[in-house]
């Protein structure tokens, strides 16, 4: 499945550890925002105005207690989709 085909409410996983680069409001640069493999849900999808082909996803990842965290802006390379095999 292609990430570009995903929509609000779809489940994704962190492709790697996601670290605050200093752009998170009330965050701390270097803070781990999502562990590699963390499950999340897309809450908004948009694009970079200067490059409409570059999608950005707002994702809320689960913590170790399965609580959804604050929304995090992610690029497609930060996310992966795990398809279930039946």
More confident residue, 22 or 79: 79
Give 11-68 pLDDT, tens digit per residue. 999 999 999 988 888 888 999 999 999 999 999 999 888 888 888 999 999 998 999 9
Band of the pLDDT at 1, cuts 50, 70, 90? low
More confident residue, 85 or 79: 79
Alpha carbon distance 2, 32 (integer Å): 26
Classify residue 58 as exposed, middle or buried by CB count within 10 Å of its CB (0-12, 13-18, 19+): middle
End-to-end Cα separation, the chain, in angstroms: 15
């Amino acid at each position: 499945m292609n990430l570009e085909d995903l929509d609000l409410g779809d489940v994704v996983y962190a492709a790697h550890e996601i670290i605050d680069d200093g752009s998170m409001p009330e965050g701390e640069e270097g803070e781990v925002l999502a562990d590699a493999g963390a499950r999340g849900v897309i809450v908004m999808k948009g694009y970079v105005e200067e490059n409409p082909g570059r999608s950005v996803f707002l994702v809320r990842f689960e913590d170790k207690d399965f609580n959804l965290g604050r929304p995090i802006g992610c690029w497609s390379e930060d996310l992966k989709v795990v398809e279930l095999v039946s």
